[in-house]
Amino acid sequence: MFNRIMNLLQGEGEVTEKSRFERVQVATCALLMEVAHSDGHYQSVEATVVHDLLAKKFDLSAAAVAELVDYSHQHREESLDLFQFAREINAHFSRAEKLDVMEGIWRVIYADGTLDKHEDALARQLAALLRLDHKDVIDRKLKVLDEVCPDRKS
């Protein structure tokens, strides 16, 4: 799988429906990893959330998720910006799927129980890159907050 993903991102091999799906996997993973690292602390709880989100979203085994995370981490480190990842998601995901990615971003952000100013700024940037309405983004944020902090309204 690793070699297939690498070849796809480097433009090698034929572009099939399956290869587009794999590029979207890398793009989604890279955005989640960027959020997880944005506060300067990549905690195990964030790693668990990222792994769980990817396994569920793309129906991947634990080994495939680990391989995807390793490769995406390297690709994220080498990239100059997040636009290339957002472009891939915009090209292949529906609005509902992009909102699911945004919800995943909020889950990673709140995995450690806090919203850092860098995480908040990055979430706003990613929402814009994914061409999502502010209201929809806030709805997903509140949904996650209601799940992780049910007492917050008290």
Q: Can you give the CATH number for the domain in which 47 is found?
A: 1.10.3680.10
* Helix, strand, coil tally for the chain in percent (to 5): 80, 0, 20
For residue range 19-28, list pLDDT tens digits in order.
Answer: 555 889 999 9
Per-residue CA distances from 128 to 7, 44, 82, 86, 97 (Å): 29, 28, 11, 10, 15
Give per-residue pLDDT as tens, 100-140.
Answer: 999 999 999 999 888 889 999 999 999 999 999 999 999 99
pLDDT in tens, 51-93: 999 999 999 999 999 999 988 888 888 888 899 999 999 999 9
**Are 37 and 100 contacting, i.e. CB atoms less than 8 angstroms apart?**
no
Please state the pTM of the whole predicted model. Answer: 0.84
Domain count within the chain: 1
Predicted confidence at residue 41, as pLDDT, reads 81
pLDDT interval class at 6 (50, 70, 90): low
Q: Print the domain residue range for 39.
A: 2-153
What secondary structure does DSSP assign to 64-131, as a single string?
HHHHHHHHHHHHHHH-S-SHHHHHHHHHH--HHHHHHHHHHHHHHHGGGS---HHHHHHHHHHHHHTT
